[in-house]
């Protein structure tokens, strides 16, 4: 029997590295194996080459990743290798794949111009995830994409062939490696937005299920990273690679029935305009007083007076006097029509104290507006007399 090492043996070596959780534990052996295996078995099968690249990325063995990429001219799909590098917390592998190999997290399948055999379905490689080639990207925030797979534990079905493999999953490590490539500006706008979406979707599911304290802790990590990304987008002021206005569309699309209160609180704090706009647009949300009332103290007024009015009227309908008092500093954010409608609701429902308070607020606001108009007229007269 030949003593030439086989691809199966390399897969076994990489599995041992994953179990040891130490990328350098068997690195020299694995690096030498690649040279011998490629020499004996070149060219590798299209599926086999992808499987080895993914295993090496999951193990964090950068030497093997580099060797494979130097030998293999064509990978049908490399995005899932990047997913596994990020999932396992190997930011060095992820950076190298992006910077030196141009790997795009949301890239579609690549097809060789000439194939001697038929390729299996695309979903074999992509694990059914949507890619940039999909016209449905961002339409449903809950749709799976390669980004969402970064923040999921290993299932034991990652292998494209031969034996399964897995690494211990840590949300903290996955978030840290993803944080590094995002902060370094190594992704484009679409990937940036999709990673932001993936964090929020993961957090929403963790808070919804509430199976353990670990789930809650993972949810907090996801929201922290999502906040970091939104602030980074704002700080970079439109620079390429840091997202665009679709980030706010993603936030708005997460406001759905039975969404966890932590997600509402997050949106109210980091993007109050988004919550107020959805409150104005969605009738069912206007009935969720138990969700909205606790958020009044952290909301800020929108530039759109109609959106602000939706909150005022909702609070008036539900006799939330203490919450409406919190909005005293918002007076300039409401027009007369908003006060009139809120006052009408309180009167119809016989909320006497609420109606009295709103009337006094409306009168005070009217006097302030009249005073401002008088001051403007005095200023104009003064200018004419000069």
Residues 341-366: what's their mean pLDDT?
Answer: 90
Q: How far apart are CA 274 and CA 260, in angstroms?
A: 16
Contact 81, 103 (CB under 8 A): yes
- Letter string b/e over residues 179-194, b meaning 16 or more CB atoms within 10 A of that residue's CB: bbbbeeebbbbbbbbb
pLDDT tens digits for 14-36? Answer: 887 787 766 555 555 666 777 77
Which architecture characterizes domain 1-128+146-167 according to CATH? Alpha Horseshoe (1.25)
Q: How confident is the model at residue 381 (pLDDT cuts 50, 70, 90)?
A: very low
- Rounded mean pLDDT, 173-197: 97
Encode pLDDT of 73-90 as tens digits: 889 999 999 999 999 999
**What would the two tokens of residue 229 be?**
């990304």
Q: Are 259 and 295 in contact (CB under 8 A)?
A: no
- Rounded to the nearest 10°, the torsion over CA 343, 348, 354, 357 is 40
Residue 250's φ and ψ, nearest 5 degrees, are: -60, -45
Going by the DSSP 8-state scheme, the letter that residue 42 receives in this structure is P
pLDDT attached to residue 175: 98
Name the average pLDDT for the chain: 88
Predicted confidence band at 106 (pLDDT cuts at 50, 70, 90)? very high
The C-alpha angle with vertex 352 and arms to 351 and 357, in degrees rounded to 5, equals: 100
Give the up-direction half-sphere exposure of residue 295: CA atoms within 13 A in the CB hemisphere.
27
Those residues whose C-beta lies under 8 Å from the C-beta of residue 60, and which sit 6 or more positions away, are 17, 23, 85, 88, 89, 90, 92, 93
8 Å CB contact between 200 and 222? yes
Domain locations in the chain as residue ranges: 1-128+146-167, 296-386
218-276, pLDDT tens digit by residue? 999 999 999 999 999 999 998 999 999 999 999 999 999 999 999 999 999 999 999 99
Predicted local distance difference test score (pLDDT) of residue 373: 52
Residue 217 has pLDDT above 70, yes or no: yes
Candidates 290, 289, 297; CA nearest to 272 is: 297
pTM: 0.89
């Amino acid at each position: 029997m030949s003593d030439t090492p086989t691809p199966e043996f390399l897969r076994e070596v990489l599995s041992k590295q994953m179990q040891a959780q130490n990328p350098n534990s068997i690195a020299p052996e694995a690096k030498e194996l690649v040279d011998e295996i490629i020499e004996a078995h070149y060219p590798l099968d299209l599926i086999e080459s992808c499987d080895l690249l993914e295993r090496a990325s999951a193990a964090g063995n950068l030497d093997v990743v580099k060797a494979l990429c130097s030998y293999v001219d064509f990978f049908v799909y490399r995005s899932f290798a990047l997913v596994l590098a990020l999932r396992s917390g190997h930011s060095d592998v992820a950076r190298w794949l992006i910077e030196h190999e141009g790997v795009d997290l949301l890239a579609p399948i690549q097809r060789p111009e000439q194939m001697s055999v038929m390729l299996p379905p695309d979903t074999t490689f992509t694990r059914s995830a949507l890619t940039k080639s999909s016209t449905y990207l961002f339409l449903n925030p809950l749709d799976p994409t390669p980004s969402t797979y970064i923040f999921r534990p290993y299932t034991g079905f990652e292998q494209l062939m031969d034996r399964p493999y897995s690494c211990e999953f840590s949300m903290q490590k996955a978030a840290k490696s993803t944080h590094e490539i995002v902060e370094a500006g190594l992704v484009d706008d679409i990937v940036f937005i999709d990673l932001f979406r993936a964090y929020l979707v993961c957090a929403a599911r963790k808070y919804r299920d509430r199976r353990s304290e670990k789930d809650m802790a993972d949810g907090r990590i996801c929201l922290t990273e999502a906040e970091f990304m939104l602030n980074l987008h704002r700080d970079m002021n439109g620079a390429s690679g840091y997202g665009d206005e679709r980030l706010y569309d993603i936030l708005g699309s997460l406001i759905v029935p039975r969404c966890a209160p932590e997600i509402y609180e997050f949106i109210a704090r980091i993007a109050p305009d988004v919550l107020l706009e959805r409150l104005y647009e969605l009738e069912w949300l206007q009935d969720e007083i138990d969700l909205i009332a606790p958020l009044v103290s952290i909301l800020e007024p929108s530039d759109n007076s109609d959106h602000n009015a939706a909150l005022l009227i909702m609070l008036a309908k539900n006799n939330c006097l203490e919450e409406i008092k919190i909005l005293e500093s918002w007076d300039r954010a409401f027009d007369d029509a908003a006060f009139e409608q809120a006052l009408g609701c309180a009167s119809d429902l016989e909320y006497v104290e609420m109606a009295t308070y709103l009337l006094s607020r409306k009168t005070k606001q009217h006097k302030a507006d009249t005073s401002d108009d008088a001051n403007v007229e005095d200023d104009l007269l003064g200018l004419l007399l000069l």
